[in-house]
Amino acid sequence: MNSADYSTHGAVAVVTLNNPPVNGLSHELRGAIVAGLDQALADPAVKAIVLIGAGKAFSGGADIREFNTPKATAEPNLGSVIRAVERSPKPVIAAIHDVAMGGGLELALGCHYRVAAKGAQIGFPEVKLGILPGAGGTQRFPRAVGPETAVSLIVSGNPVPSEALESTGLFDRLIEGDLLQGAIAFADQVVDRRPLKLVRDIKIDYPHAEAFFAWARTSVGASSKGFPAPVKCVEAVAASVSKPFEEGLKLERDLFTQLVQSTESKALRHLFFAERAAAKIPDLPEGTPTRPIKSAAVIGAGTMGGGIAMNFANAGIPITVLEVKQEALDKGLAAVRKNYEGQVRKGKLKPAALEERMGLIKPSLDYADLGQADLVIEAVFEDMAVKEAVFKKLDEVMKPGAILATNTSTLDVNRIAGFTRRPQDVIGLHFFSPANVMRLLEVVRGKATGKDVLATAMGLAKKLKKTAVVSGVCDGFIGNRMLGPYGRQAGFLLEAGALPWQVDAALERFGMAMGPFRMADMAGGDIGWAVRKRLYVEKPQVKFSKIADRLCELGRFGQKTGAGYYRYEPGKRDAIPDSEVEALVVGSSKELGVTRRKITDDEIVERCIFALVNEGAKIVDEGIAARASDCDLVYITGYGFPQVRGGPMFYASTVGLYDVVRSMKRFHADPLGDPGFWRPAELIERLAAEGKSFSNT
């Protein structure tokens, strides 16, 4: 049902919002609310009206199913519904439970009274989509709770429980027990109160407004670089203090229109839908049976294994950590405890919770201790021979029906599955380092992986609070396969005339969290070196700059050795440009017979980012990724791509695929270290020729 239910309880009419799952304010529901209001007003026996939500929410705001469709703004729009509520000659009471977010909270603010159940989540998440509340929220909310609280909640986009706002003017009562009965009793008490009060009529008395908003503009601007919405939220709230209500409402509408048309908002909205699309696997029906995961195990207590263990402990799932030596096991668990202690010091975790979580992590030196786990994840060295030994052992000791997962970042999951007699139980679960922090989980589906195993992995990702993206099997899956050409192009730029710190700075100004060379130093140069050595044998046609190998040959593996592309002071992570590296880079160009030239920052960005895009297009065309937005989600959540650009594929679409192809053909004439590098992917050429974008895939 996508409407509102109408009933009467004595002199009180109850209009129940009924649009599962969170009563999104669809066009049909908005019309039904007004119809219910009109029915109550036409009945002389009705003296008051209660608005309440069915199911799990009062209202979660706009119905996301109507985003970018004519229904989103069709009359009655939300502003019209709120005006109808405000003009009601009979008191209208919003009864809030569970969730009142965005437009749902704006609707409640238009009511004459508001009652709420304790624990209801109250907030305005619009800023996370690059917009601001557009139906009076920035004008009514400050009048109800004060400008400082309003700025805090609207700018952060984070909800707070109803009790946190109990002392403000937002709620007239917090209801204990049954909310509907409490709301009806409250309505009976206010039936004859006149005049009916409206939040819009409240005058804000705030003598420190000028100083507060000057501070808010500065602090919000500094913390939200690249995101226009937070600062505009401050401007809109400031108008609630300095302007009459209708003028403030007009400013809010103007700012909303500006933001909704901005590239930044389009990028954030794209990612919002990308995350929901990634959870939908074309050949995996809803309701596919899953396997229970009541206990888990991880092989390896290093940085990755320890981080994986923390994810399970955080979710309340017991996990056994296996190592081959006591010293390595002790060191790994000490690192886990240290991580938790850091959270306690920052106030993010209570000491009792630390001990509870450590109690869920059980150390072991014996494979036999893993046998009854529902899921086991190997996090051992990235070498096929090592993986083979581990999986053959797991095949022997794990109970029937246990899921056998590999955390490999590049190796063939199908081959790994072949080391067992149960390939249907094998799946890739590629966590990103540090695994206890990074949101991304690449779920790698082998050719034999059972559908129930895949469904279980996707459900587990939610429990672990990860963003799961399904990948097919190929070298590097989605993320690392795209990273390969990106890193290779960065290396070729060094040979042509750039230096590592120029390349990093250009890409960081573009918005990348970290340039490719700083990232390589952090990850460890030896990791990339091992991958390249394998590719030299398996794919000799793939060309690489030799600079990275030469640094490794000198023992410069990055931060862990105090020197890589940069040098590092003991105990510090500051990347310091190094004259020795500059000499090595310049010497490499001379050795290759390359006359070094000036490389612009624009060329650095175009070559590196379009290298990502081109490989992403191949991945989509091959069916490794189900859709282009999956590639975007991987790069936003796992590789530090700037959110405001929406991911590499979305960014390419904003540039225009026609222009992207032209740039690639221009680079083909000057290919740097690999003559075959810049052949555009067939998907890009096809879409560009048809005037389409990656959103059409």
Residues with a catalytic annotation lie at 106, 126
Whole-number Cα distances in Å, 551 to 119, 426, 439, 556, 581:
56, 37, 31, 5, 8
> Are the C-beta atoms of residues 564 and 603 closer than 8 Å to each other?
no
Whole-number Cα distances in Å, 378 to 320, 373, 460, 581:
12, 13, 16, 36
> Are the C-beta atoms of residues 376 and 402 closer than 8 Å to each other?
yes
How much of the chain is in helix, strand and coil states, percent to nearest 5? 55, 10, 35
Rounded CA Rg of the chain: 29
Please report the DSSP string for 391-443 in residue order. Answer: HHHHHHHSPTT-EEEE--SSS-HHHHHTTSS-GGGEEEEEE-SSTTT--EEEE
Rounded CA gap, 406 and 107, in Å? 48
H-helix or E-strand containing 549? helix 547-553
Rounded CA gap, 559 and 552, in Å? 12
Whole-number Cα distances in Å, 695 to 128, 382, 549, 632:
21, 35, 39, 11
Q: Tell the burial category of 411 from Cβ atoms under 10 Å away from its Cβ (0-12, 13-18, 19+).
A: buried
> Are the C-beta atoms of residues 24 and 100 closer than 8 Å to each other?
no
Q: Is the peptide bond before 351 cis (omega within 30 degrees of 0)?
A: no
Backbone angles phi, psi at 669, to 5 degrees: -75, -20
**Amino acid identity, position 228:** P
Residues in contact with 452: Cβ distance below 8 Å, sequence separation at least 6, in sequence order: 288, 289, 290, 291
Alpha-carbon 667 to chain mean position:
33
Cα torsion angle, 421, 422, 424, 428, sign:
negative
Q: Which residue has the tokens 């420190």?
A: 208
Strands 440-444 and 426-431: antiparallel
Backbone angles phi, psi at 396, to 5 degrees: -75, -40
Q: Which of 639, 564, 588 is nearest to 609 (CA)?
A: 639
Rounded CA gap, 278 and 441, in Å? 11
Beta bridge partners of 558: 563
Q: Which residue has the tokens 């027990």?
A: 177
In SS3 terms, 342-380 reads as HHHHCCCCCHHHHHHHHHHEEEECCHHHHCCCCEEEECC
Q: Give me 595's structure tokens.
A: 């006359």
C-beta atoms surrounding 542 within 10 Å: 16
H-helix or E-strand containing 516? helix 516-523
C-beta atoms surrounding 176 within 10 Å: 9
Residues in contact with 319: Cβ distance below 8 Å, sequence separation at least 6, in sequence order: 295, 296, 297, 298, 308, 309, 312, 313, 360, 361, 362, 373
Q: How many CA atoms lie within 13 A of 453 on its CB side?
A: 24
